[in-house]
A and B are shown apart, each in its own frame.
Chain A
Amino acid sequence: MLLEVKNISKSFHIGTHTIDVLKNISFQVERGKICTLLGPSGSGKSTLLNIIGGIEIPDRGSFYFDGIEISGHSEKTLGCYRRKRLGYVFQSYNLIPNLTLKENIESGAYLSDKPLDVNDLLYTLGLWDRQDQLPSQLSGGEQQRTAIGRAVIKNPDLLLCDEPTGALDYKTSREILALLEKVNQKYECTIMIVTHNEAIQRMADQIIRLHDGAIRSNENNTNKQKAAEIAW
């Protein structure tokens, strides 16, 4: 089991007002699988992902990564965890504006003990021709592919994607999904995708639904499809 989440709760306090964003969340994800996290807006998907990513600290509960407890550790340990084990992709691409595409990807490679080959990855991403361009000179899809490249080049055990297609059009979204599938197969990395696009779940091995901060359902997809076959 790569990831084990146990009884995680999280609340935010605004003045005297308390919002319980996550209520007693527990689930597991197996190594090498694609897992989607679905739910309406405000249900706490990003918060959960950020907790798994070590960016946010849960109020209660714990989670284990590769059998080691991660929650409750210091900022430094969390940083090390992110650095060595995780990749992160966001809806907004958050590239470093004054680095070229290739350099943005290299900023990920630098962190890894076992990075993938940059040039090989650039081909896989379909970005070979664009490698010397700055983020502002790229389309949204290209920027997102770069962001995925930056996360994947670390050769992470777990790739966290928060609405990776949220800002993209239909065609480009499908390309990104195909890329994620390719990454999953080629580099055997586990992927968690947060989305509210119901169609994306069809390419997943595991589907978790959140509602109002609680898990509504957690099931394995018995009818997994190829990314290329998905349409919506």
Chain B
Amino acid sequence: MKNPLNKRIPRMLTGNAGKMVAVLLFLVLSISLASGFLVAEHSLRIGYDNTFEEYNIEDGHFELLKEMSDPLAEVLKKEKLSIFTLFNKDLEIKENRVLRIYPVREEINRIALLEGAMPETDEEIVLERLFAGNNGYEVGSNVKLGAKAFWVSGIVAFSDYSSLFKNNADGLFDNIRFGIAGVNQKAFDVLEYNDLHYTYAWKNHDPDLTPEEKNDFADKILDIVKEHDLIKDFVRRADNQAICFAGEDFGNDRVFMMVFFYITIVIIAFLYVVVMRSTIELEAKSIGSLRALGYTNGELICHYSLLPLLVTLMGALIGNVLGYTLMKDAFIYIYTKSYSLIPAPVLWNAEAFVLTTLVPVLIILLIIYGFLPALLSLPIQKFLHNDLSRRKQKYAIHLGKLSFFTRFRLRIIFQNASAYLVLLVGILLGSLLMSAGLMLPPLLENHQQEVLDNQICAYQYILRMPVETADEQAEKFAVQSLELGEGTVQVLGIEDGSKFLPVASQGLQTGEAIFSNGLTSKYEIEKGEQLVLSKKYTDDTYSFELGDTVYYPAGFTIFISLDDFRTIFDCDDTYFTGYFTDHKLDDLEDIFVASIRTEGDLTFALDQLMDSMGQVFKVMAVFSVILFFVLIYVLSKQVVERNQQSIAMLKILGYENSEINNLYHVTTGLTVIFSFLISIPACKFILKIIFKQIMTKYIGWFDFYVAPWVYPAVVVSGLVSYLIIYVMQSKRTKGIYTAEFLKEME
């Protein structure tokens, strides 16, 4: 027979409406965020993985100085690959806005049409989505390429440019100042340009080669091409950042996200336990008489767990619905703000369901059913006597000569210790989330400022070949990128007595190497230790002994003398890569200049990072404010409800509302403040550790920096949440009406 007690459930639900709605909202928020994230990530990943076959993405490409010679074409024809022409032109269409234009391709690296139509006439152009969006172009807009006007017929995604890296060597992609466009062959042929790239892509005939075989095969192609023609660039697909970067970035945040999610779930479960406990305490006498009548413990456990169970299932249901709709779209929006991805249909994701619904529900059930039996298993007399304390406490803790109010408050804290503990843990977690969300933007800004303050020079010229300048202040340097694990280290050869680098002004000794601080911090290198680096695609290794560390936040760098550089890398005595200079060098012809790094390049990359990550930070901050709010609300309400009888009694005795608030709510407030006092130093400590962990995995290095306003902001938002709840709750104390209450008692 159905347990008649369960008729109470709707009444319990309305009786606890405030708390339950708060917990439900929070549960919905957590589950929808987590499932939205996993679903978005999953469907983007599937979509991304599918592009390789669906859009026939190249196995690599190379760029020649001019069109391919016939002998090379002949030799390549005999290899097991197909060659596709992928010529493209770079054109500055506005100040600081470069478009790379391709003729529309049908075979290799196909284009996905997102909106509008592919170009048919000579006046039509399709633009890559991010560049178009960031620069205000839409279907129907006009674009001027040199003298010729085009109109945008469609918005597209290029399968070989999911991340918009202009050059494969660039540190970060740039989808504001750099874009891709497609026109028809006829329009392309007559197009003006700043740069024409004779690019050829290849596709292996055998799709099932292992990565090693692919690499060996690419080596072979490189040798063949080098033998016949002048080569400007050679990029295997695995090294092509424009193709691979997005894929590597997916799921980077996943572990982080899931850990926070599960901690949140555990906090919710404990909220339930605290709420259930106070319900049981309030109803102790009734429970006692029910047990006396013959109800079993099991029946009561069932009864008291029904409400949390209902709320949890409801939360899981709504959370999943929102996750698959709103949140998924939000996360896809965040990802597609950075990456030019080809959308994939949303797939039912069993893994996401298990991770964000099944596991959390199980965790909650486990905790509920772990605690409930213990709460209900006391002897019947204890319930009847309204004494649910577990300890054989003969005497109350002696509080000596403290003032009456202080002792009263301390008693409230002892009575509600478990609730306040949950509050403490929740505030710690919330502070952690929030300070993480708040600290990163200023950290990046700080890093950016530091990079600017410590940059070597205003312009860094990289040359295609060593050519002399007449400019006196320009200083020669040489650079070589080497590999260290996943990361890249620049080895810079500096002229003796360099005026750009104070460290080298005394002249660097032969064999002396100075490391940038990021490098020594990340890899924890001590003075005198050797660091072994390798050269990509070769077995060559180079070792450097740490002589000194210099503060240089721009990247992992080892500074050595130019002479050492030439010896170590086996170059001739006059070799150099480029110039450090204060101003532009006018006497260098453009064709010798490979690239110029300026201040803007340094900071732009970080602006970009901020732009794409900013949303996530905001979500974290908002989420933690909600966490504070829900926790403080539910727990302080719980404390009041648990003491309703006492509050009514205090009122009858003649206590004023303000005095009662002073006793109950101020106590909660003091606990909130105390929790923050503990949380902030703990946050500092934990964040430092987490940050270090993340940095060892990250390809670069940022110094740990928390802007001075971050922690105060966390505390203030917590206290403001508390104050709002205080106002709400003190209305409630007013509402505890004495006469009604006395009747209920009897």
Interface flag for B412 (CB, 8 Å): yes
Contacts of B652 in A (CB 8 A): 53, 55, 82, 88
Interface flag for B255 (CB, 8 Å): no
Contacts of A198 in B (CB 8 A): none
Contact among B395, B404, B656, B745 with A79 in the assembled complex (CB-CB below 8 Å): B656
Q: Give the distance in Å from the alpha carbon of A126 to the alpha carbon of B407 in the complex.
A: 23
**How many chain A residues touch the partner (CB < 8 A)?**
37
Give the interface segment out of A100-108, A184-192, A200-208, A224-232: A100-108
Contact B646 A50 (CB under 8 A): no
Q: Can you name the residue of chain B whose Cβ is closest to the Cβ of A160?
A: B652
Contacts of A90 in B (CB 8 A): 742, 745
Instruction: Write out, one digit per residue, whether chain B residues 370-405 have a CB within 8 A of any chain A CB (1) or not (0).
Output: 000000000000000111010001111010000011
Residues 78-98 of A contacting B (Cβ, < 8 Å): 79-80, 82-84, 86, 88, 90-92, 94-98
In the complex, what's the smallest C-beta–C-beta distance from A72 to chain B, in angstroms?
A: 16
Q: Give the distance in Å from the alpha carbon of A133 to the alpha carbon of B60 in the complex.
A: 83
Q: Give the distance in Å from the alpha carbon of A55 to the alpha carbon of B742 in the complex.
A: 10
Contacts of A24 in B (CB 8 A): none
In the complex, what's the smallest C-beta–C-beta distance from B641 to chain A, in angstroms?
A: 14
In the complex, what's the smallest C-beta–C-beta distance from A102 to chain B, in angstroms?
A: 9
Interface flag for A56 (CB, 8 Å): yes
Contacts of B412 in A (CB 8 A): 98
Interface flag for A214 (CB, 8 Å): no
Q: Give the distance in Å from the alpha carbon of A37 to the alpha carbon of B407 in the complex.
A: 38
Contact among A80, A82, A106 with B404 in the assembled complex (CB-CB below 8 Å): A106
Contact B653 A150 (CB under 8 A): yes
Contact B742 A83 (CB under 8 A): no
Interface flag for B291 (CB, 8 Å): no
Known contacts A98-B415, A132-B398; is A92 also within 8 Å of B745 by CB? yes
Instruction: Write out, one digit per residue, whether chain A residues 95-136 have a CB within 8 A of any chain B CB (1) or not (0).
Output: 111111001001111110000000000000000000011101
Interface flag for B411 (CB, 8 Å): yes
Q: Can you name the residue of chain A whose Cβ is closest to the Cβ of B657?
A: A79
Contacts of B542 in A (CB 8 A): none
Contacts of B532 in A (CB 8 A): none
Contacts of A83 in B (CB 8 A): 653-656
Q: Give the distance in Å from the alpha carbon of A86 to the alpha carbon of B505 in the complex.
A: 90
Interface flag for B684 (CB, 8 Å): no
Q: Can you name the residue of chain B whose Cβ is closest to the Cβ of A50?
A: B739
Contact B653 A98 (CB under 8 A): no
Contacts of B395 in A (CB 8 A): 132-133
Contact A136 B404 (CB under 8 A): no
Contact A91 B746 (CB under 8 A): yes
Q: Give the distance in Å from the alpha carbon of A53 to the alpha carbon of B398 in the complex.
A: 34
Known contacts A50-B739, A133-B395, A136-B385; is A111 also within 8 Å of B655 by CB? yes
Contact B411 A94 (CB under 8 A): no
> Hey, which bits of chain A sit against chain B, CB under 8 A?
50, 53, 55-56, 76, 79-80, 82-84, 86, 88, 90-92, 94-100, 103, 106-111, 132-134, 136-137, 150-151, 154
Known contacts A88-B652, A136-B387; is A103 also within 8 Å of B407 by CB? yes
A-B contact pairs, 27 of them (CB 8 A): A50-B742, A55-B739, A82-B653, A83-B655, A83-B656, A88-B653, A90-B742, A90-B745, A95-B649, A96-B643, A96-B649, A96-B650, A97-B386, A97-B646, A103-B404, A103-B411, A107-B404, A111-B653, A111-B655, A133-B395, A133-B396, A134-B396, A136-B385, A136-B386, A136-B389, A137-B394, A151-B653
Given A98-B646, A107-B408, 10 new contacts (CB under 8 A): A50-B739, A53-B652, A55-B738, A83-B653, A94-B745, A95-B649, A98-B412, A103-B411, A110-B405, A132-B395
Contacts of A96 in B (CB 8 A): 643, 646, 649-650
Q: Give the distance in Å from the alpha carbon of A61 to the alpha carbon of B220 in the complex.
A: 109
Q: Give the distance in Å from the alpha carbon of A82 to the alpha carbon of B405 in the complex.
A: 20
Q: Give the distance in Å from the alpha carbon of A111 to the alpha carbon of B389 in the complex.
A: 29
Contacts of B691 in A (CB 8 A): none
Of A76, A80, A110, A154, most buried by chain B (CB within 10 Å of CB) is A110
Residues 693-746 of B contacting A (Cβ, < 8 Å): 738-739, 742, 745-746
Q: Give the distance in Å from the alpha carbon of A229 to the alpha carbon of B263 in the complex.
A: 68
Contact B408 A103 (CB under 8 A): yes
Q: Give the distance in Å from the alpha carbon of A82 to the alpha carbon of B408 in the complex.
A: 21
Residues 646-679 of B contacting A (Cβ, < 8 Å): 646, 649-656
Interface flag for B645 (CB, 8 Å): yes
Contacts of A106 in B (CB 8 A): 404
Q: Give the distance in Å from the alpha carbon of A154 to the alpha carbon of B650 in the complex.
A: 13
In the complex, what's the smallest C-beta–C-beta distance from B437 to chain A, in angstroms?
A: 38
Contacts of B386 in A (CB 8 A): 97, 136
Contacts of B414 in A (CB 8 A): 98
Of A55, A56, A84, most buried by chain B (CB within 10 Å of CB) is A55
Q: Give the distance in Å from the alpha carbon of A23 to the alpha carbon of B457 in the complex.
A: 98
Contacts of B407 in A (CB 8 A): 103
